[in-house]
Structure 1
Amino acid sequence: MNKNSKSCHKKKEVTPLIKQYNNIKNKYPNTILLFQVGDFYEIFGKDAVKCSKILNIVLTKRSSLHLAGFPCHSLNNYLPKLIQSGLRVAICDQLEESKIGNKNLVKRGVTELITPGIAINENILTPQSNNFLASIYIEKEKLGLSFLDISTGEFLITEDKKNNILQYLNLFNPSEVIFQKKDKKFFDQFFKKKYYTFIVEDWMFNYEFAYEKLISHFQTNSLKGFGIDNLKLGIISSGVILSYLHNTQHLNIKHISSIRKIKKEDHMWIDDFTFKNLEIFHSINKEGVPLINILDQTITPMGGRLLKNWVLFPLINVFHIKKRHEIVQELYSKNIIRNFIKKKLKNIYDIERIISKMVVGKITPREVYSLHKSLFSIMEIKKKLSSQNEKIFLSLSNSFQDCDTIYKIIANTIQDNPPHQIEKGKGNVIMEGVSKELDEIRILYFSQKEYLEKLCKTQQLNTGINNLKIGYNNIFGYFFEVRKSKNNKVPSYWIPKQTLSNSVRYITQELKNYESKILSAELRMFSLEKEIFNKLVNKILENLKKLQKNAKNIAKLDVLCSFSNIALENNYTKPKIDHSLKICIVNGRHPVIEKQFISKTSYIPNDIILNKSKQQILIITGPNMSGKSAVLRQTAIIILMAHIGSFVPAQKANIGVIEKIFSRVGASDNISLGESTFMVEMNETANILNNISDRSFLILDEIGRGTSTYDGISIAKSIVEFLHENNSRPLTLFATHYHELNEMNNSFKRIKNFHFPVKKIDENIVFIRKLITGGSENSFGIHIAKISGMPKKIINRAKEILKTFKIKKNHI
């Protein structure tokens, strides 16, 4: 009996509501389920415990079940915190109104599933960065790889060697990576800690299924028009992305209107070591400044995202590079038009993400109004460009699509500065004159005060109750309030509803009829505004491709304006790019380091000349802090900047197209994988030597220093000899403390020695920081140790030891 009674008791504890919750929750494992109960989203069990800590909300307990929650209207405040914590969140809404007296359970269902890779909420996204979802399909030693940003519609596809997978992930930095079950061990080993991952069932990785998914989405007969028809593995990964979107309730995705192949052959290849070493996006030091901070003076979020894309994928097509340079030159020299464009860009919002929110049905009236303001500014930019005589500006003007019709439709439909939500705007979204019915309902709804005042005066006259009042509460609506001393004058047909200490409240049929009329008017007003608003959005989306093209053109103009600004501010010059196999940089400067000097003339510039015939490899020596690393990095950065279309920090720069930049700079242990500094150094160097081409540029700093001196010298000499004798003849800057390498220019005709001299004044040294021909014979290591604050006793002992080494060397 006891067992049965306990069993019955447990069953009673599972209420119909919790049963419904469990049924839905079971369909979405490893997902936080936000379960709407009236005006709140409730969270139960272990999810409640987890969310209470992340969201800092109250955790309670009902029977043995943990419970947490927050108001529905606060969703946009709490949702980003959950997603940014790496959680998947399912929004479970009530699908019908809860009716008073109805004991049946309200129908509920998941209306949206949000994961880190498919978020469109602006509170989750970073405006100037893409939010990529990556899909990876591995087959033997090859992989298919796709990247999709659902918030902008950008869809990319490629195929490559399996060992390049990390390179792509580092470039695109996806918020989420999906892959098939069979590769779980591989991903757990290499990526789980760095990337949020999600396993997709193996059966979804099917070529026929994926191909059909793609042509169905793009409404084409084949994928040849996108140039990806031969990418079998890439097509599988792309098809899985679309299936994943459908499975997460993202069904309206027509803004994903194209798919683009990542063409390695069209862009300069820069490995992730080089991006890190050159400090392009992130500084190695906490207080340091990355290059992107200098380059980025973009105004729009779209421009910021495009700039990063250009830096990740520099051009190698001379014609296209020159075209960018020409536009920057015109903007550079035309102050009036550049300043006009900058001013108008400030009024342009994130059109790409506004479009995406329209498509998925998450757009607000305020965002549509932002689109209206953006289109007006684009129209003004287009008009200004077309008024110029220069062909470049006329071409830019013609690239913009005519969106006057869309602008006018919005202007004639939406009120200025409308509320974010129709329901909260009290009918203040759609303009007067758009709908006759809506106008009439508004008159009724907004004339409540006048009507009630008139009714009150009429009843005062009819009853003789001169202090009669009309009030309202949520319990029984409108009422007449009468002082108890006047109760004898109340008509018999008035119905008493509430007795207070000094008064009585009554209702009448007339008041109930009016109340019903007002509530009906309110509902109809909101319904009409929604209907008109939705029609407007659909009308705008008929011009989807026009809007997307204008967004891209604005982003491009924004980046080129940014380049012209930084060129003016920092005295950059227009580089000359050609098909030669040489580099000539006169008075080159490091764009980040020079900004640290108060005076613009304080930074000492340097020349770098490289060619395949006489000066292929420069051996650069000099003490620490003399400028070796700076000149290596600044040369690579100048080359990169020139290839993305920017002017460069130099007096003059003639640069033959470079297809690959490689660097081996600095030292870093990879202890977690059991790799020492020297092993990391050799791995990175091997990667460079195995991938060089005739249009490669290399910067190598202190190769071989991670092992014993003689081993290091031997390795360094061997590498330099290999680069000299290799058929590709890559242009190379090789910085070293091994002065023995200076001898190589006697045996190898394309190796030249350069060094950074220092002046020794008494016991002190002065850095000249000017690169000159010839090799140096002293690293001044002890002097550097001295000025760093090393104890004097250690410095003196080091000098004694150095003398003994020199004596031994002379005896050998």
Structure 2
Amino acid sequence: MAQYTPMIQQYLSIKAQYPDAFLFFRLGDFYEMFFEDAEKAAQELEITLTSRDGGKERVPMCGVPYHSAHTYIEKLIEKGYKVAICEQVENPAAAKGVVKREVVRVITPGTIMEENMLVDQENNFLVALAGSSSSVALAAADLSTGECHITELNGSMDFVLDEIASYQPREVVLDETLTREKTFMDKLHVRFKAVITPFGQKSSEAELEQKLAGQFPGFADICTTSLLKRVLGILFSYLEETQKRSLEHLQRLRRYDARQYMMLDDAARRNLELTVSLSDGKKRGSLLWLLDRTATSMGSRLLKKWLDKPLLNVEAIKERQEVVRAFLADYLLLDDVKDQLKQVYDLERLAARIAFGSANARDLNALKRSLQVIPQLKERLILTSCSRLVQLGEKMDECADVVALIDRAIVEEPPVSVKEGGMIRDGYDTKLDEYRTVQKNGKSWITELEQKEREATGIRSLKVGYNRVFGYYIEVTKANLHLLPEGRYQRKQTLANAERFVTPELKEREQLILTAAEKSVDLEYELFTEVRTRVSAEVGRLQTLAELVAELDVLHAFALVAREYSYVCPVVHTGDRLYIEAGRHPVVEAVAGEASFVANDSELNGTDRQILLITGPNMAGKSTYMRQVALITILGQIGSFVPASKAEISIVDRIFTRIGAADDLVGGRSTFMVEMAETCHALKEATPRSLILLDEVGRGTSTYDGMALAQAIVEYIHDHIGAKTLFSTHYHELTELDNPLARLVNVHAQCIEKNGKVVFLHRIVPGGADRSYGIHVAELAGLPEQVVQRAKALLSELEGREQRADVSVGQLSLFDWNPGSAQEAGKPSGISEAEKEVLEAIRSVDLMNKTPFESMQFLFELKQKLK
């Protein structure tokens, strides 16, 4: 260290405390970075890398302006980095030596509070984990909203990872025990793009418990196990260490059981397009896009959480349905509530910023205007006949005292900055009013002085002005200088065509005005922070109100969608029958138009329709049909109405999907490996209450391999799992499975051939398909005519070979040869031992009692023997 200058030594000592973060080191109007930070930041931010004298050597350096630092910080956070903000905490004028500096906050992907770095409609969760891979405690917090969720997870590693995925965290903090479990860490890195931070607890258990009890109301009743206390301690300690300020708004601690909600893994969310579209990864085209008619950002975030965690509790679902039904029964109520919700700002994030100390005067006014809507909204809800709406209305706190405080203190149109004055109303504080009177009178005095000096000197162009460098001055053109009286005017500044002067009287008044202005600005900031602190003391009330408004907003959105697309209220029950009459895919219908969408019935149960084996050509609607069954189930279990003419939905605990072809280049997995991994996940984790969607399983390998896998998977689901399953396939041979498998039913996507062209009817009807029409689909896709005709010729030839093979198999099975009798007669058989083995195998098989698939397996084995 001795080789460096004192300032660089200071930088290095602070940097050593934050080795995994970029250190933004404040120097005047810039944040500077040195050494490796500078080299990496210059590359990531595309800024100039320079150097400066560090003592015995020049050290790499780069910097960003203080006033625009947020832009560069946002870029680094978006790339998954952390940024430690190091400020001057000492007045440079009073410093002896190097100005004292300290890190005032560490910004990480999971601890963002900056409005410009957050997405209004999305949460930004930080997840903490403690325990072992088989028994993990999870705590998830969104610092920007103040919510905190906690649970214990006992189950497979995949179950734990699926629950973590439900939060889509941008950062995961781990205790030291989990970091030593290599398999778990490997899977964590593969599954999530989040920043993963190991964290060692520094406080003692007793100190930590005392701190948590003071932070979270009801802590002792919520955290009843040592593992829950440990994970919450890790989460809170990490936030304390990085934020270095009060976390008063982080007090909504909720414990839940993950098995009380439907579990949806990454594949299900992706394949069902719950929150983003498969085509471009954007919201449009997803189920969330269709449902999100919310008026507030907090409502939009709650809707996404409901989609991530559909309910398993029938009574809770019915309570939500009751509200939707009430809205649809009273369109006037629906429109009134819509108009009122539009006037409510994001109460959750406003309250969080106020408590965090980052809110400005405009935020306080946004809060006030939102709260002013509540009395009218509350009155409207209480007058309804819906018990849940009445409850929501009665629980809404109007926070009249908060409204009155803000209204009394803050002007209607305050500036953005909180340190330039202009925020506090006249009459709120006596001392501030005095300062303002001095400033106001001072301006009048200046105007009067200007007129007085003009009359005394006879100089009509004389003027009194002000600038920040020279203060107040009297300006006289050079042509009129001879008119000034001797001795009274003191020269202050010379210009090209004028001279500027001051008088003792002007200097005295200037001191009084400027002192009042400076004191006024300082006092306004003090008064504002005092108001903000008083409002932050009510953060619990504001957050409770925000939850109620968000719930109302989501249920209101459900009603708007149901009204627009004629959805019906499903009967949700705990039985095993899933029945949908004239069901539609909600998103496809919304995009294509209701008139052009073909509705289909669906029925699944555990008695005689556990598995629907779906055959038919590509483009005929098989995948759409499968997805719509899953989406209608999810809609039913979040409390929404559904796109059907009638629906009975049995509670589903998990939905598994294997749809579409995609490889995992980063993970080194082929398309077929991804297919098998997702299928394996379903077979291991599914229960009789699950819903499984498998589309074209086995197509990624050879025909016989794929067909064998497909049949084995269907049999396993039928015999060992019992889950409701939609299984789409092009292996028509599998349609014969409806004989040995009692709960398997064949259905197919109907199409007709007209004038040599295939016409898709998009109807799912009973029975198996006899053809795939693959060449017709290729023709529709625009393949060259020469390719299409050649394919048809080859298909005809292959089908002819297959028919000849079938005849040969029939003849071979009737081959009457008894090797024993030939030998007894002493006649040479004329057949080799290998040929005897083959013929014996043919003679022993009874093809008449085998399924087509079993016959093909036999032919394959026979072919190998003949070789």
Question: Could you tell me the TM-score, scaled by structure 1's length?
Answer: 0.91
In structure 1, give the amino acid aligned to 2:101.
R
Which residue of 2 is the match for residue 3 of structure 1? none
Structure 1 window deviating more from structure 2 (585-594 vs 481-490): it is 481-490
Query: Is 2:571 the counterpart of 1:576?
Result: yes
Which residue of 2 is the match for residue 666 of structure 1? 660
Q: Helix, strand or coil for the counterpart of 1:146?
A: strand
Give CA deviations for 1:563-605 in whole Å, capped at 9, x if unaligned.
Answer: 11111122211111122210110000111222332x4221111
Which residue of 2 is the match for residue 405 of structure 1? 401
Which residue of 2 is the match for residue 24 of structure 1? 14
Query: Is 2:240 the counterpart of 1:273?
Result: no
Contact map agreement 2:34 2:61 (CA 8 A) in 1: yes
Distance 1:780 1:476, change over 3 A: closer
Which residue of 2 is the match for residue 616 of structure 1? 610
Aligned partner (choices 248, 256, 263) of residue 250 of structure 2: 256
Aligned partner (choices 15, 25, 42) of residue 32 of structure 2: 42
Q: Helix, strand or coil for the counterpart of 1:421?
A: coil
In structure 1, give the amino acid aligned to 2:429.
S
Aligned partner (choices 438, 446, 452) of residue 444 of structure 1: 438
Which residue of 2 is the match for residue 677 of structure 1? 671
Contact map agreement 1:701 1:734 (CA 8 A) in 2: yes
Query: Is 2:280 the counterpart of 1:293?
Result: no
Unaligned runs of 5+ in 1: 1-6
1: CA distance between counterparts of 2:445 and 2:49? 48
Contact map agreement 1:137 1:205 (CA 8 A) in 2: no
Aligned partner (choices 303, 306, 318) of residue 310 of structure 1: 306
Which residue of 2 is the match for residue 738 of structure 1? 731
1: CA distance between counterparts of 2:256 and 2:204? 22
In structure 1, give the amino acid aligned to 2:109.
P
In structure 2, give the amino acid aligned to 1:350.
D
Give the drift of 1:547: 0.7
2: CA distance between counterparts of 1:57 and 1:670? 34
Give the drift of 1:118: 0.5
Query: Is 2:743 the counterpart of 1:750?
Result: yes
Give the aligned CA root-mean-square deviation in angstroms.
2.8
Aligned partner (choices 722, 733, 738) of residue 716 of structure 2: 722
Contact map agreement 1:665 1:699 (CA 8 A) in 2: yes
Q: How many residues align?
A: 793
Aligned partner (choices 81, 94, 117) of residue 75 of structure 2: 81
Contact map agreement 1:41 1:72 (CA 8 A) in 2: yes
Query: Is 2:123 the counterpart of 1:130?
Result: yes
Which residue of 2 is the match for residue 651 of structure 1? 645
Question: Could you tell me the TM-score, scaled by structure 2's length?
Answer: 0.86
Aligned partner (choices 583, 587, 590) of residue 585 of structure 2: 590
2: CA distance between counterparts of 1:252 and 1:203? 19
Query: Is 2:394 the counterpart of 1:387?
Result: no
In structure 2, give the amino acid aligned to 1:657.
I
Contact map agreement 1:422 1:526 (CA 8 A) in 2: no
Query: Is 2:805 the counterpart of 1:804?
Result: no
1: CA distance between counterparts of 2:472 and 2:665? 75
Give CA deviations for 1:239-279 in whole Å, capped at 9, x if unaligned.
Answer: 11111112113331111113222412211122222112212
Query: Is 2:557 the counterpart of 1:562?
Result: yes
Distance 1:462 1:669, change over 3 A: closer
1: CA distance between counterparts of 2:716 and 2:96? 83
Contact map agreement 1:250 1:360 (CA 8 A) in 2: no
In structure 2, give the amino acid aligned to 1:762.
N
Structure 1 window deviating more from structure 2 (191-200 vs 749-758): it is 191-200
2: CA distance between counterparts of 1:41 and 1:448? 39
In structure 1, give the amino acid aligned to 2:390.
L
1: CA distance between counterparts of 2:206 and 2:696? 52
Q: Helix, strand or coil for the counterpart of 2:647?
A: strand
Which residue of 1 is the match for residue 109 of structure 2? 116
Q: Helix, strand or coil for the counterpart of 1:756?
A: strand
In structure 1, give the amino acid aligned to 2:99.
V
2: CA distance between counterparts of 1:594 and 1:40? 54
Which residue of 2 is the match for residue 536 of structure 1? 531
Query: Is 2:147 the counterpart of 1:154?
Result: yes
Structure 1 vs Structure 2: percent identity of aligned residues? 36
Give CA deviations for 1:74-113 in whole Å, capped at 9, x if unaligned.
Answer: 334443223223222222222244449x775433322222
Query: Is 2:353 the counterpart of 1:357?
Result: yes
2: CA distance between counterparts of 1:490 and 1:678? 99
1: CA distance between counterparts of 2:495 and 2:414? 42
Which residue of 1 is the match for residue 215 of structure 2? 217
Q: Helix, strand or coil for the counterpart of 1:768?
A: strand
2: CA distance between counterparts of 1:103 and 1:209? 37
Contact map agreement 2:216 2:253 (CA 8 A) in 1: no
Query: Is 2:499 the counterpart of 1:509?
Result: no
Distance 1:111 1:465, change over 3 A: same
> Highest Rg: 1 or 2?
2
Q: Helix, strand or coil for the counterpart of 1:753?
A: strand
Give the drift of 1:16: 4.5
Which residue of 1 is the match for residue 164 of structure 2? 169
In structure 2, give the amino acid aligned to 1:322.
K
Query: Is 2:544 the counterpart of 1:549?
Result: yes
Give CA deviations for 1:691-747 in whole Å, capped at 9, x if unaligned.
Answer: 232322222222333333333333333333333333x63222222222222222223
Which residue of 2 is the match for residue 372 of structure 1? 368
Give CA deviations for 1:394-424 in whole Å, capped at 9, x if unaligned.
Answer: 2221121231221122122211121122333
Contact map agreement 1:143 1:234 (CA 8 A) in 2: no
Aligned partner (choices 81, 99, 108) of residue 106 of structure 1: 99
Distance 1:213 1:392, change over 3 A: closer
Which residue of 2 is the match for residue 240 of structure 1? 234
1: CA distance between counterparts of 2:78 and 2:670? 34
Which residue of 2 is the match for residue 338 of structure 1? 334
Give CA deviations for 1:435-477 in whole Å, capped at 9, x if unaligned.
Answer: 1221221122234432112123334445565554323333332
Give the drift of 1:546: 1.4
Which residue of 1 is the match for residue 173 of structure 2? 178
Give the drift of 1:795: 3.4
1: CA distance between counterparts of 2:66 and 2:498? 38
Distance 1:687 1:205, change over 3 A: farther
2: CA distance between counterparts of 1:539 and 1:605? 57
2: CA distance between counterparts of 1:57 and 1:664? 45
Give the drift of 1:37: 3.0
2: CA distance between counterparts of 1:390 and 1:190? 47
Contact map agreement 1:606 1:770 (CA 8 A) in 2: yes
In structure 1, give the amino acid aligned to 2:144.
S
In structure 2, give the amino acid aligned to 1:302.
M
Contact map agreement 1:588 1:607 (CA 8 A) in 2: yes
